[in-house]
Amino acid sequence: MPAGTEFGEAGDRGPGNHWTLTFACPDLPGIVHAVSGAVVHARGNITESQQFSSADTGRFFMRLQVESPVTREEFERALQPITEHYGMTWRLDVVGRPLRTLVLASTAAHCVNDLLFRQRAGQLAVDVPLILSNHGALRDLAEFYGVPFESRAVVSPESKRAFEERVVEVVEQHDIELVVLARYMQILSPELCARLAGRAINIHHSFLPGFKGANPYKQAHARGVKLIGATAHFVTSDLDEGPIIEQNVVRVDHSHSPAQLVAIGQDEESRTLTQAVKWFAEDRVLLDGARTIIFK
């Protein structure tokens, strides 16, 4: 299994015969042949296949969609010899199964709204059991979409620790597979970052690696930039340094005020975060050290 296995195996709820299989392993001869043979052994038909060999790390990555009449247990038995032989980290999931997702937010509504709108419209395969916030500003928005909302003030080290303990509690209670920081304006502790490694996505309101930290639009305006953007990345204990999943930019000029840059940038933030979550929910994102492999 890829990073984040502390949340348990995904895709073990609900029958299905259309599967997504992703894996990573050292790049060796015969991998594709072996995988194809295992699929045939499971009476499967490959309907989609993508692969990548990293010259930088010497690792091989692959994503398959497979139709097969066998059960999960039978499919896993067919895969076991090759996963052990090649030292694979792998994931088998039902195509289209909604990913159990916890949303963390503060006061900004645009990213949360876009996620919930696209989930309701059937464009984003996530199941959000709770929005957890350090402010109460988004309660009405959550109620509009019928999503439970909980706010807990973070004003001291003790209250921050209590908030993060609640995050862990929700993750365990709801078997959460992804945590989305939808403009959650608090820095997670190193301990929580480690616990959520590979399973937490943040949106930063600049085109990283430029303008890290707070007030990036103000920084961008002061530098007179001609492009502003947004970056969705995995959360790590190094602020705004996690592996990048998606980025978008838009052109601006000298006439735009800091407030106008914020308004323009919010559209990019929403679009970028939603795309990253969509790819993750569809098992299209694999980690390769400090980089990501995205099978679009």
Is-catalytic flag, 114? no
For the residues of 114-174, what is the DSSP string, one character each? Answer: HHHHHHHTTSS-EEEEEEEESSSTTHHHHHHHT--EEE----SHHHHHHHHHHHHHHHHHT
The CATH number of 99-294 is which of 3.40.50.300, 3.40.50.720, 3.40.50.170, 3.40.640.10?
A: 3.40.50.170
Which residues have a Cβ under 8 Å from the Cβ of 46 and sit 6 or more positions away? Answer: 36, 39, 64, 65, 66
For the residues of the chain, what is the DSSP string, one character each? Answer: --S-GGG--TT-SS--SEEEEEEEEE--TTHHHHHHHHHHHTT-EEEEEEEEEETTTTEEEEEEEEE-SS-HHHHHHHHHHHHHHTT-EEEEEETTPPEEEEEEE-S--HHHHHHHHHHHTTSS-EEEEEEEESSSTTHHHHHHHT--EEE----SHHHHHHHHHHHHHHHHHTT--EEEESS--SPPPHHHHHHTTTSEEEEESS-TTSS-SS-HHHHHHHHT-SEEEEEEEE--SSTT-SPEEEEEEEE--TT--HHHHHHHHHHHHHHHHHHHHHHHHTT-EEEETTEEEE--
Task: List the structure tokens of 28.
Answer: 């060796």
Nearest to 114 by CA among 152, 95, 94, 141: 141
Which residues have a Cβ under 8 Å from the Cβ of 75 and sit 6 or more positions away? Answer: 19, 42, 44, 68, 92
Nearest to 39 by CA among 90, 97, 96, 98: 90
Regions of the chain with pLDDT less than 70: 1-16, 208-214, 217
Task: List the structure tokens of 33.
Answer: 């042949």
Whole-number Å distance between alpha carbons of 285 and 197:
14
pTM above 0.85, yes or no: yes
Q: What's the confidence (pLDDT) of residue 265?
A: 87
Tell me the fold of 5-94: Alpha-Beta Plaits (3.30.70)
Burial 52-63 (b: 16+ CB within 10 A, else e): beeeeeebbbbb
**Among the options 12, 56, 93, 240, which is catalytic?**
240
Q: What's the confidence (pLDDT) of residue 198?
A: 97
**Per-domain boundaries in the chain:** 5-94, 99-294
